[in-house]
Every structure is written in C-alpha cells, then in structure tokens.
Amino acid sequence: MPLIVLCGYPLSGKTTFARKLESICEQKKVACFSKSDGDLNEPRDLLYRDSKAEKTTRARLRTEIERVLDKESLVICDSLNYIKGYRYELFCLARSLNTQYALVFCISSREQVMQRNYLLKQENGDYYSDEVLRGLMERFEPPLSENRWERPPFVVDENTDVDRECEQIISFCKDAKVALRAVIATKKLPVTANNILEQAEKVTQRIETQIFERCEPYIPLQLAESSHVFQSSRKVTLAELRKIRRSFMRVIQKNLSSYHSEREIADSFVEYLNTQLQQARH
C-alpha cells in the first residue's frame, strides 16, 4: 500500500482530511498509519521557528514514515510538506519500495488560515506565532503538474466531497498498475563492493564538472550519466558541489550493497544534489 502525502498552508485542513481518510480505511479494514507533526511532541511554533528547526522536523518525520512504510499498509504523511524537494524525497522513498504514492493538496486562503490560527490562540491551543505563520505561507511551494512526482495531485478545498475523495484515493492506492518502480539502472560497468567507491568517485566527479560548467539558474540540465535532471535556482559554486559530493561519498560508504551500477550511483547523486541544494534555501 502507498504513501499518501498531504501538503498545503498551515491549518488548511490537512489533519481533518487525514482523520477522515483514516476513518474510511478503518471501515474498509485497510491497515493505515498516520504520521504528523503532532507525533514529534513539540509545539508547532517550535518545530518551525527557524531553518534549523525545520530541517530537524522534516528529518524526524521522515524517520517516522520510514519506520512504518511497507507494501501492506497505507501511510499518511500529515504535515506541511511545503518544499517540493522534500516531497520528492518522499516520492523516492515510496519508489524504493515499489509501492504507490499520492499527493493530496489541501487548499485554503491565507485569510482562512489566519482566522483559524487566531481562534487557536484565543482557545490557548497549539497555534503559530504571526511571524512563523506568515513565513511558512510565503515559502510554500504549490504542487506543479509538470513534476511527475506531483502528478496526479488530489485537490481538497471547502467544496470537496471529502468522502468521495477518500474513496478515490483508496481505489488509486489499490491499483497495482500505478505502483512506482524502483530505478533499474542500465548498466555500463558492473559495480562490486571492491570497486564501488572508485566508480562512485569517477562518476560523481564527472557530474560535478558538468554541473559547474553548464548549469544555468532555473534551466533543467540533463546529464549523460543520469536519467535524472539537475536543476537549481542559482549558479552553484564549485566549493558547494565538492562539499555535497564529499557528503554523498560518506553515504555511499555506509550503503555499499545498495548500488549495482554506475547509473544507479549517478541517479542517486543527482537526487542528492537536488535535495541538498533545495534544503539549503530554507
């Protein structure tokens, strides 16, 4: 069963929708787990008070999801998920298990969000400070249909028939035809435990050089070594690329058995670059 990722402004109805989806899953005897910011046992404002806290929050939530995600249960990620790079990480997580992935975009106006936050404050509930709330709304990156990991998004607003939408999501999740497939690389050279680090050094150095020489802000860059596209909103320095490459090599060293070809290494490195540069913006 798949990973269902909710996204939207803070207080846009994500948790209400998640609870309804859980309820319908229970009626249909579908195993379901919901993981949310609430599971981290800290006030909302502290979880998103600055960029460091936000990164920690995303990392902790991903760990919670990884712990329960499998092919048997439906897992709901009930959080802001406002950064497209993080949503892509979750997409890759589902893909690694050959399971389905669906995005639910909960739409609400800024005025509605501010009003709900005001009511929470009046009730001494778990509310956001005005500064944090405005910052989160300004940084929200809405799903784009051009991004294959965000297509087809399910859209929920105040006019949505929630029961019907939940039924459609569950049907989508049960459809084996839409299950993602883990990347099976086209092998150039076989990579073994003995030479994997050597091959990784070579392929990541080539990618690093191509990006430094050819990358232009906002223009997708197709690399010869990878089936993935590199894209950045700014010119990336060689020092940044080398720092990220060193970090990736440490990841490789801990997961030698996960790679079987240069293409797999290249695909993982490009994904890693995109994610790290995306997170550096926040």
> What was the pLDDT predicted at 9?
97
Phi, psi dihedral angles at 198 (to 5 degrees): -65, -45
pLDDT mean for each 10 residues of the chain (282 residues):
92 96 94 92 92 88 86 91 88 83 95 96 93 95 82 87 93 76 44 70 89 85 82 88 90 75 86 85 60
Q: What is the pLDDT of residue 182?
A: 57
Our separate counts of H helices and E strands in the chain read 10, 7
For residue 77 the two structure tokens come to 């990620």
Q: Which residue ranges form the domains of the chain, and what is each CATH number?
A: 3-178 (3.40.50.300), 196-280 (no CATH)
Give, in order, the Cα–Cα distances in Å from 271 to each of 45, 239, 245. 30, 18, 12
Neighbours of 167 (CB within 10 A): 14
Q: Do the bridges between strand 154-156 and strand 101-106 make them parallel or antiparallel, or are there none, so unpaired?
A: parallel
Do 183 and 235 contact (CB within 8 A), yes or no? Answer: no
pLDDT computed for residue 188 by the predictor: 40
Token reading at 48: 């998103």
Q: What pLDDT score does 184 carry?
A: 39
